[in-house]
Amino acid sequence: MRIDEDACYRALETRDRRFDGRFFTGVRSTGIYCRPICPARTPRRERCVFFPSAAAAQEAGYRPCLRCRPEASPGTPAWLGTSALVSRALRLIAEGALDDADAPALAARLGVGERHLRRLFLRHVGASPLAVAQTRRLLFAKKLLDETALSITEVALSSGFSSVRRFNDAIRAAYERSPRELRKAVSKRGGGGAGGAPDIALRLPFRPPLDWGALAGFLGARAIPGVESAEPGAYRRTVRVAGGHGVVEVRPEAGEPYLLARLRLPGTEGLIHCAERLRRLFDLGADPDAIASHLGADPRLAPRVLAMPGVRVPGAWDGFELAVRAILGQQVSVRAATQLAGRLVERHGEPLAVRGGLPEGAEGLRFVFPAPEALAAADLTDLGLPRARAATITALAARVASGEVALDASRGLEETVRALCAVPGVGAWTAHYIAMRALREPDAFPATDLGLRRALGGISGADLAAMAEAWRPWRAYAAVLLWTADAQGARPAEREVSDGSLAG
The secondary element (H helix, E strand) that includes residue 323 is: helix 319-328
User: Can you tell me the mean pLDDT for 48-72?
Assistant: 95
pLDDT tier for residue 71 given thresholds of 50, 70 and 90: very high
**Is the pLDDT reported for residue 492 higher than 70?**
no
If you write DSSP's letter for every residue of 35-72 in order, what string do you get? -TT--SPPPPGGGEEEESSHHHHHHTTPEEPTTT-GGG
Confidence (pLDDT) at 192 = 42
Q: Which of 92-101, 308-317, 461-470 has the lowest mean pLDDT?
A: 92-101
Which amino acid does the sequence have at 218?
F
Q: pLDDT value at position 356?
A: 87
325 closest CA partner among 312, 338, 310: 338
What's the CA gap between 495 and 455, in Å, rounded?
12
**Residue 394: pLDDT band with limits 50, 70, 90:** very high
User: Cα 317–322–327 angle (5° rounding)?
Assistant: 175
Task: Please give the average per-residue pLDDT across 53-82, as a whole number.
Answer: 85
Q: Which of 481, 485, 486 is nearest to 498 (CA)?
A: 486
Pairing label, strands 63-64, 32-34:
parallel
Three-class DSSP category at 228: strand
92 contacts 410 by C-beta, under 8 angstroms: yes
φ/ψ (deg, to 5) at 231 = -145, 175
Judge whether residue 191 has pLDDT over 60.
Answer: no
- Contacts with 383 (C-beta within 8 Å, 6 or more apart), sequence order: 340, 343, 344, 347, 390
Number of Cβ within a 10 Å radius of residue 188: 9
Which pLDDT score, from 0 to 100, does residue 197 have?
44
Distance of CA 242 to the CA centre of its chain: 19
Supply the mean pLDDT for the chain: 90
Ranges of H-type helices in 4-158: 5-14, 54-59, 84-94, 103-110, 114-124, 129-147, 152-158
Q: Determine contact, residues 471/303, Cβ cutoff 8 Å.
A: no
pLDDT of 503 reads 40
Task: Provide mean pLDDT across the span 352-368.
Answer: 93
Q: pLDDT confidence of 200, banded at 50, 70, 90?
A: very high
Q: Is the pLDDT of residue 48 over 60?
A: yes
Mean pLDDT of 32-45: 96
Residue 107 has φ and ψ, to the nearest 5°, of -60, -40
Q: How confident is the model at residue 412 (pLDDT cuts 50, 70, 90)?
A: confident
Position 195 confidence tier, pLDDT thresholds 50, 70, 90: very low
**Per-residue confidence (pLDDT) for residue 78, from 0 to 100:** 53
pLDDT for residue 398: 97
Q: How many CB atoms lie within 10 A of CB 492?
A: 6
Calculate mean pLDDT across residues 146-158: 94
Q: Would you state the pLDDT for residue 194?
A: 39
Spot the catalytic one: 8, 34, 38, 65. 34
Query: What's the CA gap between 280 and 441, in Å, rounded?
Result: 11
Of the ranges 191-205, 275-289, 290-304, 466-480, which one carries the lowest mean pLDDT score? 191-205
**Tell me, what's the pLDDT at 411?**
87
Model confidence, pTM: 0.90
Structure confidence at residue 489 (pLDDT): 54
Based on the residue annotation, tell me whether 34 is a catalytic residue of this protein. Answer: yes
Query: Residue 242's pLDDT band (boundaries 50, 70, 90)?
Result: confident
Average pLDDT over residues 218-247: 95
DSSP, res 204? E
Residue 486: which pLDDT band, with cuts at 50, 70 and 90? low
Of 211, 283, 449, 486, which one is the catalytic site residue? 449
From the list 216, 232, 71, 201, the residue with the least C-alpha distance to 136 is 71
pLDDT band at 488 (very low <50, low <70, confident <90, very high): low
Residue 198: what pLDDT? 67
